[in-house]
């Protein structure tokens, strides 16, 4: 995590000609393995996806992680691909916007096309991936939560209200589809069990979407708990659980 | 790599990539959607954009210039000068050229650059097989600079040594009304291009932002005058003097830009962002030293960053393509390319407003200096526009405005968002608030009392043709709802949002109302021309119109507007808009932003009307009426008085039998002044066509920390005529967003060492942007100039096509409103834009 | 070389444990260590850094994660900011979760690591760069965290503030890894505040972290953002300890708040001009930073230890506000209006044909 000296490569250079070591690796993109050979070790994931593998739906906007046009999902988390060393992404599940285009655009892309199709469109694939991740964790995000999620994306053509409307639209469609799927699943006993578990999970998520840590609200400080209170001892944070980015400060959602 | 290089010669404006990303075929997107049923575009999008293209954009399959590729493609990189002024004595590219994978390196004299005239001037370019290799090659280039003393403070430009043979003052404007106007102007003619008196230079030296608000009781003599005495003013009047500073707009693109250049023998094909392909082609040909015919500029789909690619980038890509004989892709990432910018404000304005005790404005005096950088020619239009609008939409008996554009060693001024209208609006509205505070009345009262009326004069003496919409706009903006206060318990609704500093007891809300105006046809305008071609024919599905236009669709709906015009004139639903095949086929002069849509729309309308006359000739003969007097209304062809009509599809079936083609050219010219001629629009002498807008902004401030959060901007516009209504809201919202970034985003110059240029720009994020509430626009121009019904309704002569600009005036009004609201919230008359939390300390 | 997938040559290493990471760093001393890569890749993308060998640290299980013990919490150095925002951590170390939330964007937070934030900037002997703000450091300094470092010579534990030189550079020895941060558990309330150049994720001008431990009867606070270091103002905490009613977790004398804040601001001895790594990068006057620190201190203290008797008032106020909101809702329902006033710009479904404007409903 610290910078190394930017000097000439030593004897450890790889196959490349002096100073440009290359690596070969395999990425898992949209569920399918993709072999990459002869890539310079310093290439970022965005460059490899676009130029070497042809996934041009991921856009290069700034190269510094500020514009969000390069957002892909890595292990289900939105990630700016321009800041990921390509070789470091081996073995991680990468999802690009292309997978949601066939056979037809998914609800998020359809909602974006309707509400936010009036601009140049460069930001849409990145915002689409971010919204898919958001809706997977929070079925009914508030306007403030959507704005906070969008704060990593740069759209010069359209105001955030368009994307708030698109996200709400997509959320409705997804909830409808989930309800349909749930109704079908209820038909069989095994599926009924799963539905019960999912409802419990949903209830737990909703519970967790209303946290009460101290200093959440600027005007309603929490009534003090017992001194020395802490959470359960032992145990380790579960990687992959990511509902904390979109919490609210108060009861209003 | 994706699609092959050169797109076929006949480029459709909206192109859908093939599913297999094979050869880019021209896809008739409109037909693909309509099919034989000729349905309207989906009603959910009143934007007129259809469904196919937005779906392509949302799924990432829309081909931008960056998505193009070619076998053997090379990558280009540039480096820019770290010195503002230096002589390049020599450069050594041998090490760079020896690096494996590098195909070409051009630096310093090899690039034609012997002298560095501004910070950030491109000094070396390289092409290599990998973008990292290209950048590494450039860092191996050794350039010998002999730095010289640069001129970076525009105020020093008056007294400093001339840095160019034309002198340091590039432009000068002086307007005055009042009794001794003629003498003043004569005296000012001598001032043109001469250094002003030492007193004036001193006056600007002493310009400090944030001087005490309100009246100046100690002296009524405004500083910096040219020695003429002020008229004796009645007692108990108030004069308000302030100096305003505006930071320069960012020089680097706020978004991506990619230029893709492909050599074809002697010719070069360049895919780049451009709104004016003709002008950019000429500029590129001049820069490359080649005849225009060898350069083919293909406008690439817009990427939301800038209106046009960096000219340096285009030249670099073209030169390297020519030198290496291979396709070259140049990506202008913002990371690490521009050196730290100068902190000097780009514009300084010194304004004096004098008003009676009862609130009537008596006098306005404005002086301003604009830093044009190393290429100040572009800033002259900015100065001109400012000076003509300096007093704002108010009636003032006596106005004196004087401004200069000076040349320095700073980078050339990037196109100012909102133009001179934005500068003028911010200053004028700030002064109105200051006058109101000095008089003890509300800002609204002061504005309403002095509101401009039709026939009032601008500082340059012209009369305003139509100001009737102003009171209606102000009333509409005041009637609109206000966001709830205090903001909710969600911490993101407080200033400081996720920084969690929000404290309800330290929160103050400020409201600002601002009026802005934009001059549509300035008198100094040289002739501007646009041409178009319309063809009417039919195919297996029915009548279809083909429009050929030089206008580029930036994604803001320009082609949707043209389609709407043609549908209205011809009554044909299926319209295809294309760019011309041969470069230079449709001549158009360089069009300033704000007028391009108007001129091209008029040209298309004229062409469509000519085609209509041709196609309806037979019907005209039948009805014994000249075909020019026939219109299409709904599904019938109707004579102008509505007496005779025929069904439209019948007429077209007959006229288009046998695949007949009707083809016509249309042309529209505009001149700022001069004799009226047929086919040229010249405003009446002494008449000014001005568009107005009123915005109200609500800004919350943390009174101790000075943090600001814009909450909502309510916009009321007079749009003339809404051809594609769904686009108006997007255009206004885009203007408001750019205004929010101009007023609140402060670049951190020193932070460049740590983060890239985009991070340094600190542009507002979705959490910083206000909600935009667009009120139903006033449409004061319905119809065409020839319609007498308009005159009967009391509208004074509108521009043909009922044109009013929307985006620029939205930026101007929103910037002024946001600044006024911020001042109200902070209870301090901040005069430096962008408004920074830490200036002049906290207020309680 | 350990990696689960095929890596052809030695230009990259995927160590699976700290031991293997140290071996890789010994084998290639000029290797570039990459955990999340959010800082390194910015430099690589701009051409400022040309890595010859990468050592990828984000596969090491020991470095990723948060362990909750009875006495302390151990944060792995490769834990991402997104992981630090999860509910487990947020419940125990809310200040750290709040600080992580204020960094960049969700896309960056899923890769940016705790160690990367702490070690951003110049290393002794490394290339000159950066004047980072290290937001997470402010919280860890306020929480008395201990940094655990590992090298070939063995383990080293030191208070996190000693990880840095006076000029803001990092004091890690060559071949040394920062593996974990140990934070003693503290009950009571913590908070983090950040004053930045814009409202969304921004470069910090001042960051402030405060921890009030009711059982240990201490208040600690740290200020950062004005330089790469975070400063603890201990004497203010000591002074305050005498003025707090620890049983109720409240402060009886309301003048305590401005006095505490004044102590904080006066204690802010800024090492701002000591060397390139310590130079402030935003042209903001020092007086503003001091004033912002004072304001943040006062507000944080009010939230952590409210005035005595205030809580009852606040509870009443909350009840009343809820009542007023419910009554307004009922009244609106009676009039047939929607329960909440509409926000402009939202399209209520399909627009009418002909492209009506999406006008926000007026008053």
Task: Read off the pLDDT of residues B230-247 as tens digits, 9 standing for 90 and up.
Answer: 444 456 789 999 999 998
Strands (E), B434-479: 463-464
**C121-132: average pLDDT:** 56
**B368-386: average pLDDT:** 91
CATH 3.30.360.10 corresponds to the domain C64-304? no
CATH 3.40.50.11060 corresponds to the domain C1-60? no
Chains touching chain B through at least 3 C-beta pairs below 8 angstroms are A, C
DSSP secondary structure of B563-605? HHHHHHHH--S-EEEE--SSTTSS------TTTHHHHHHHHHH
Other beta carbons less than 10 A from residue A37's beta carbon: 12
Does the residue A123 lie in any domain?
Answer: yes
Q: Looking at the partner chain, which of A1, A5, A242 has a beta carbon nearest the beta carbon of C116?
A: A1
Residue B273 tokens read as 């962002």
Q: CB burial class (10 A; 0-12, 13-18, 19+) of residue A173?
A: middle
Residue C104 Ramachandran class (φ > 0 left, ψ -120 to 50 alpha, else beta) = left
Choice between B822 and B412, residue whose per-residue pLDDT is larger: B822
Give me the count of residues in chain C. 363
CB contact under 8 A, A124 and B58: yes
What's the mean pLDDT when you consider all of chain B?
Answer: 80
- Helix, strand, coil proportions of chain C in percent (round to 5)? 35, 20, 45
pLDDT of the residue at B596: 83
- Strand order across the beta sheet in which B258-264 lies: B102-107, B122-128, B74-80, B328-331, B258-264, B267-272, B295-299
Does the residue A1 lie in any domain?
Answer: no
Query: For the complex shown, is ipTM > 0.90?
Result: no
Give me the count of residues in chain B. 844
Angstroms from C51 CA to nearest CA on chain B: 11
Euclidean distance between CA atoms B561 and B731, whole angstroms: 13
Euclidean distance between CA atoms C302 and B681, whole angstroms: 67
Among B105-114, B184-193, B599-608, C281-290, the range scoring the smallest mean pLDDT is B184-193
pTM confidence score: 0.85
Name the nearest CA neighbour of A78 among A61, A58, A52: A58
Among B30-34, B103-107, B801-805, the range scoring the smallest mean pLDDT is B30-34
**C295-316: average pLDDT:** 88
Residue B179 Ramachandran class (φ > 0 left, ψ -120 to 50 alpha, else beta) = alpha
Angstroms from A212 CA to nearest CA on chain C: 9
Q: Looking at the partner chain, which of A21, A226, A235 has a beta carbon nearest the beta carbon of C68?
A: A235
Output the CA–CA distances (angstroms, integers) from residue B385 to A126, B389, B463, in the order listed: 39, 6, 16
> How many percent of chain C have pLDDT more than 70?
84
On whether the CB atoms of residues B240 and B353 are closer than 8 A, the answer is yes
Any B CB within 8 A of A139 CB: no
Angstroms from A194 CA to nearest CA on chain B: 32
pLDDT of the residue at B580: 76
On whether the CB atoms of residues C77 and C58 are closer than 8 A, the answer is no
pLDDT by residue for chain A (253 residues), tens digit each? 333 332 222 222 333 334 789 999 999 999 999 999 989 999 999 999 999 999 999 999 888 888 899 999 999 999 999 999 999 999 999 999 999 988 888 999 999 999 998 888 899 999 999 999 999 999 899 999 999 999 999 898 899 999 999 999 999 999 999 998 888 877 776 777 777 888 888 877 776 665 434 433 333 333 343 333 333 333 223 333 333 333 333 322 2
- C361 pLDDT exceeds 60? no
Angstroms from B801 CA to nearest CA on chain C: 19
pLDDT of the residue at B415: 83
Sequence ranges of the domains in chain C: 1-60, 64-304, 311-335
In chain B, the domains with their CATH numbers are: 154-249+342-439 (3.30.365.10), 472-514+692-833 (3.30.365.10), 528-681 (3.30.365.10)
pLDDT of the residue at B782: 53
- C351 pLDDT exceeds 70? no
Residue where a domain stops, chosen among A78, A96, A114: A96
Any A CB within 8 A of C101 CB: yes
- Asked if A128 and A61 sit in the same domain, the reply is no
Other beta carbons less than 10 A from residue B100's beta carbon: 12
Does the residue A168 lie in any domain?
Answer: yes
DSSP state of C52: S
Does the residue A11 lie in any domain?
Answer: no
Residue where a domain stops, chosen among A76, A96, A116: A96
Output the CA–CA distances (angstroms, integers) from residue B689 to A245, B106, B528, in the order listed: 51, 49, 17
pLDDT tens digit sequence for B488-524: 788 899 998 889 998 888 999 999 999 999 988 888 8
| Number of structural domains chain A divides into | 2
Does the residue A238 lie in any domain?
Answer: no
Name the nearest CA neighbour of A163 among A202, A200, A119: A119
- Asked if A172 and A90 sit in the same domain, the reply is no
pLDDT of the residue at B778: 81
- Asked if A59 and A139 sit in the same domain, the reply is no
- How many CA atoms lie within 13 Å of B588's alpha carbon, on the beta-carbon side? 36
CB contact under 8 A, A60 and B57: no
Name the nearest CA neighbour of C121 among C165, C82, C175: C165
Range of the domain at A110: 104-209
Does the residue A39 lie in any domain?
Answer: yes
- Asked if A37 and A129 sit in the same domain, the reply is no
Backbone angles phi, psi at B661, to 5 degrees: -125, 130
pLDDT of the residue at B749: 52
B690-702 and A32-40: which strand pairing?
unpaired
**B548-556: average pLDDT:** 82
Q: CB burial class (10 A; 0-12, 13-18, 19+) of residue A203?
A: exposed
Residue C108 Ramachandran class (φ > 0 left, ψ -120 to 50 alpha, else beta) = alpha
pLDDT of the residue at A252: 29
Strands (E), B50-121: 74-80, 86-92, 102-107, 115-116
- C57 pLDDT exceeds 90? yes
Question: What's A57's domain CATH number?
Answer: 3.10.20.30
Radius of gyration of chain B (CA): 28
Name the nearest CA neighbour of C321 among B488, B644, B187, B359: B488
- Asked if A61 and A124 sit in the same domain, the reply is no
- Asked if A55 and A120 sit in the same domain, the reply is no
CB contact under 8 A, B256 and A142: no
CA angle C315–C319–C321, rounded 5-degree value = 115
- Asked if A123 and A177 sit in the same domain, the reply is yes
- Strand order across the beta sheet in which B630-633 lies: B630-633, B636-639, B645-647
Any B CB within 8 A of A220 CB: yes
CB contact under 8 A, C129 and B777: no
Residue B157 tokens read as 């430009």
- Asked if A184 and A109 sit in the same domain, the reply is yes
Chains touching chain A through at least 3 C-beta pairs below 8 angstroms are B, C
Question: What's A176's domain CATH number?
Answer: 1.10.150.120
Euclidean distance between CA atoms A210 and C26, whole angstroms: 48
- Asked if A163 and A190 sit in the same domain, the reply is yes
Angstroms from C37 CA to nearest CA on chain A: 6
Residues of C in contact with A4 (CB under 8 A): 30-33, 49, 51-53, 126
**Helix/strand/coil for B459:** coil
**B416-421: average pLDDT:** 90
CB contact under 8 A, A215 and C94: yes
Predicted confidence band of residue B573 (pLDDT cuts 50, 70, 90): confident
The per-residue b/e assignment along A230-239, b for 16 or more CB within 10 angstroms, e otherwise, is eeeeeeebeb
- Asked if A60 and A138 sit in the same domain, the reply is no
Name the nearest CA neighbour of B813 among B741, B728, B710, B715: B715
pLDDT tens digit sequence for B787-827: 444 444 444 445 666 666 788 899 999 999 999 999 999 99
Euclidean distance between CA atoms C105 and B197, whole angstroms: 53
**C260-273: average pLDDT:** 74
pLDDT of the residue at C359: 32
Residues 6 or more apart whose Cβ sits within 8 Å of residue C242: none
- B279 pLDDT exceeds 70? yes
pLDDT of the residue at A10: 26
- Asked if A84 and A118 sit in the same domain, the reply is no
Predicted confidence band of residue B534 (pLDDT cuts 50, 70, 90): very high
- Asked if A118 and A88 sit in the same domain, the reply is no
pLDDT of the residue at B48: 59
**B544-569: average pLDDT:** 86
On whether the CB atoms of residues B272 and B299 are closer than 8 A, the answer is yes
pLDDT of the residue at B364: 95
């Amino acid at each position: 995590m610290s910078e190394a000296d930017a000097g000439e490569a030593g004897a450890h250079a790889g196959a490349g000609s002096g100073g440009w070591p290359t690596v070969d690796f395999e990425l898992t993109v949209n569920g399918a393995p993709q072999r990459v050979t002869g890539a310079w070790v310093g290439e970022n994931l965005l460059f490899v996806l676009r130029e070497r593998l042809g996934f041009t739906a991921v856009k290069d906007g700034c190269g510094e992680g500020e514009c969000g046009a390069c957002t892909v999902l890595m292990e289900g988390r939105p990630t700016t691909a321009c800041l990921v060393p390509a070789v470091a992404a081996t073995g991680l599940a990468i999802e690009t916007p292309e997978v949601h285009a066939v056979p037809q655009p998914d609800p998020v892309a359809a909602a974006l096309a309707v509400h936010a199709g009036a601009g140049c469109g460069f930001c849409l694939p990145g915002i689409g991936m971010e919204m898919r991740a958001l809706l997977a964790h929070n079925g009914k995000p508030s306007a403030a939560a959507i704005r906070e999620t969008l704060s990593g994306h740069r759209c010069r053509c359209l105001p955030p209200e368009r994307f708030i409307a698109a996200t709400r639209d997509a959320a409705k469609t997804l909830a409808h589809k989930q309800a349909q799927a749930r109704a079908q699943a209820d038909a069989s006993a095994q599926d009924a069990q799963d539905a019960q578990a999912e409802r419990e999970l949903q209830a737990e998520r909703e519970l967790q979407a209303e946290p009460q840590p101290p200093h959440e609200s600027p005007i309603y400080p929490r009534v003090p708990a017992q001194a020395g209170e802490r959470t359960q001892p032992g145990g380790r944070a579960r990687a992959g659980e990511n509902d904390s980015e979109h919490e609210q400060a108060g009861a209003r959602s | 790599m994706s699609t092959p290089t050169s797109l076929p010669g006949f480029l459709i404006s909206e192109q859908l990539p093939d599913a297999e990303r094979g050869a880019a075929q021209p896809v008739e997107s409109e037909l693909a959607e309509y099919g034989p049923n000729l349905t309207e575009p989906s009603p959910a999008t009143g934007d007129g954009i259809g469904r196919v293209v937005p779906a392509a954009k949302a799924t990432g399959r829309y081909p931008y210039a960056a998505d193009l590729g070619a076998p053997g493609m090379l990558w280009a990189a540039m480096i820019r000068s770290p010195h503002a002024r230096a002589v390049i004595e020599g450069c050594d590219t041998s090490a760079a050229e020896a690096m494996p994978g590098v195909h070409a390196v051009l630096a310093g004299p090899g690039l034609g650059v012997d002298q560095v005239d501004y910070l950030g001037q491109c000094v070396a370019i390289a092409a290599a097989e990998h973008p990292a290799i290209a950048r590494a090659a450039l860092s191996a280039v050794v350039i010998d600079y002999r730095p010289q003393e640069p001129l970076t403070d525009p105020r020093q430009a008056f007294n400093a040594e001339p840095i160019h043979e034309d002198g340091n003052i590039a432009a000068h404007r002086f307007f005055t009304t009042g009794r001794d106007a003629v003498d003043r102007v004569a005296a000012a003619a001598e001032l043109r291009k001469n250094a002003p008196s030492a007193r004036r230079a001193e006056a600007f030296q002493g310009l400090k932002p944030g001087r005490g608000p309100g009246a100046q009781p100690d002296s009524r003599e405004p500083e910096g005058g040219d020695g003429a005495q002020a008229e004796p003013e009645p007692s108990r009047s108030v004069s308000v003097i302030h100096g305003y500073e505006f930071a320069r707009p960012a020089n680097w693109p706020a978004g991506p830009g990619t230029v893709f250049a492909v050599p074809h023998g002697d010719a070069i094909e360049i895919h780049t962002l451009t709104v004016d392909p003709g002008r950019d082609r000429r500029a590129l040909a001049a820069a490359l030293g080649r005849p225009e015919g060898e350069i083919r500029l293909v406008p690439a789909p817009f990427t939301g960053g800038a209106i046009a690619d960096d000219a340096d980038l285009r030249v670099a890509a073209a030169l390297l393509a020519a030198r290496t004989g291979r396709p070259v892709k140049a990506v202008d990432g913002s990371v690490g390319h521009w050196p730290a910018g100068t902190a000097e404000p780009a514009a300084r304005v010194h304004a004096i407003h004098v008003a009676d005790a009862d609130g009537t404005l008596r006098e306005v005096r404005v002086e301003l200096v604009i830093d044009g950088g190393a290429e100040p020619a572009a800033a002259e239009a900015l100065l001109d526009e400012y000076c003509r609008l300096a007093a704002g939409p108010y009636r003032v008996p006596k106005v004196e405005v004087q401004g200069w554009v000076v040349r320095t060693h700073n980078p050339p001024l990037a196109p100012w968002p909102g133009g001179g209208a934005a500068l003028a609006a911010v200053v004028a509205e700030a002064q109105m608030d200051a006058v109101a505070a000095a008089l003890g009345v509300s800002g609204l009262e002061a504005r309403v009392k002095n509101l401009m009326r039709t026939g009032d004069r601008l500082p340059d003496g012209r009369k305003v043709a139509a100001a009737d919409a102003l009171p209606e706009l102000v009333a509409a903006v005041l009637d609109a709802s206000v966001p709830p206060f205090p903001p909710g318990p969600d911490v993101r609704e407080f200033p400081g949002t996720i920084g969690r500093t929000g404290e309800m007891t330290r929160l103050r809300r400020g409201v600002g109302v601002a009026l802005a105006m934009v001059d549509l046809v300035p008198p100094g305008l040289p002739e501007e021309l646009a041409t178009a071609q319309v063809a009417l024919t039919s195919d297996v599905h029915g009548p279809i119109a083909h429009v050929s236009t030089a206008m580029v669709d930036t994604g803001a709906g320009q082609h949707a507007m043209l389609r709407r015009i043609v549908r209205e004139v011809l009554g044909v639903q299926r319209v295809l808009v294309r760019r011309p095949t041969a470069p230079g086929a449709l001549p158009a002069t360089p069009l300033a932003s704000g007028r391009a849509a108007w001129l091209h729309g008029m040209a298309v309308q004229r062409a469509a009307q000519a085609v209509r006359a041709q196609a309806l000739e037979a019907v005209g003969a039948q009805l014994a009426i000249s075909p020019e007097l026939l219109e299409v209304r709904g599904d019938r062809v109707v004579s102008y008085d509505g007496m005779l009509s025929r069904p439209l599809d019948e007429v077209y079936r007959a006229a288009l039998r046998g695949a007949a083609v009707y083809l016509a050219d249309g042309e529209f010219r505009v001149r700022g002044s001069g004799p009226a001629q047929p086919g040229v629009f010249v405003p009446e002498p002494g008449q000014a066509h001005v568009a107005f807008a009123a915005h109200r902004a609500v800004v919350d401030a943390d009174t101790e920390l000075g943090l600001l959060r814009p909450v909502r901007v309510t916009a009321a516009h007079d749009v003339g005529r809404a051809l594609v209504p769904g686009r108006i809201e997007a255009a206004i919202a885009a203007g408001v967003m750019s205004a929010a970034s101009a007023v609140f985003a402060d670049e951190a110059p020193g932070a460049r060492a740590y983060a890239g240029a985009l991070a340094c720009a600190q542009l507002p994020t979705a959490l910083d942007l206000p909600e935009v509430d667009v009120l139903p626009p006033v449409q004061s121009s319905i119809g065409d100039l020839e319609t007498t019904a308009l005159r009967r309704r009391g509208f004074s002569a509108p521009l043909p096509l009922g044109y009013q600009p929307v985006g620029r005036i939205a930026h101007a009004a929103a910037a002024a409103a946001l600044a006024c609201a911020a001042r109200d919230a902070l209870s301090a008359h901040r005069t430096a834009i962008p408004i920074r939390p830490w200036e002049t300390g906290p207020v309680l | 070389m350990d990696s689960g997938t095929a890596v052809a040559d030695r230009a990259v290493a995927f160590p699976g444990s700290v031991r293997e990471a140290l071996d890789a760093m010994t084998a290639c001393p000029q290797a570039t260590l990459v955990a999340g890569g959010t800082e390194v890749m910015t430099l690589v993308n701009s051409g400022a850094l040309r890595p010859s060998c990468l050592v990828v640290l984000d596969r090491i299980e020991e470095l990723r994660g948060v362990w909750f013990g009875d006495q302390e919490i151990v944060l792995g150095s490769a834990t991402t900011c997104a992981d630090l925002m999860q509910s487990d951590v947020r419940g125990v170390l809310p200040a750290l979760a709040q600080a992580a939330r204020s960094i960049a964007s969700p896309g960056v937070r899923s890769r940016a690591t705790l160690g990367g934030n702490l070690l951003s900037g110049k290393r002794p002997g490394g290339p000159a760069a950066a004047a980072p703000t290290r937001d997470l450091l402010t919280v860890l300094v306020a929480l008395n965290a201990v940094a655990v470092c590992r090298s070939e010579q063995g383990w080293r534990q030191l208070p996190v503030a000693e990880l840095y030189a006076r000029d803001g550079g990092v004091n890690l020895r060559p071949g040394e890894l920062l593996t974990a941060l140990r934070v003693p558990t503290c009950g009571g309330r913590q908070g983090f505040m950040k004053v930045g150049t814009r409202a969304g994720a921004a470069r910090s001008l001042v960051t402030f972290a405060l921890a009030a431990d009711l059982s240990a009867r201490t208040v600690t606070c740290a200020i950062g953002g004005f330089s790469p270091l975070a400063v603890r103002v201990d004497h203010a905490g000591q002074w305050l300890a005498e003025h707090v009613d620890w049983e109720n977790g409240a402060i009886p004398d309301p003048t305590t708040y401005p006095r505490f804040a004044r102590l904080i601001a006066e204690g802010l001895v800024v090492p701002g001009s000591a060397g390139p790594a310590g130079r402030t990068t935003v042209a903001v006057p020092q007086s503003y930073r001091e004033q912002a620190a004072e304001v943040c201190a006062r507000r944080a203290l009010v939230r952590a230890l409210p005035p005595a008797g205030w809580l009852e008032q606040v509870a009443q106020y909350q009840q009343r506000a809820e009542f007023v909101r419910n009554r307004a809702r009922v009244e609106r329902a009676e009039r047939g209006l929607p329960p909440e006033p509409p926000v402009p710009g939202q399209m209520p479904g399909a627009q009418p044909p002909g492209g009506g404007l999406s006008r926000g409903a007026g008053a």
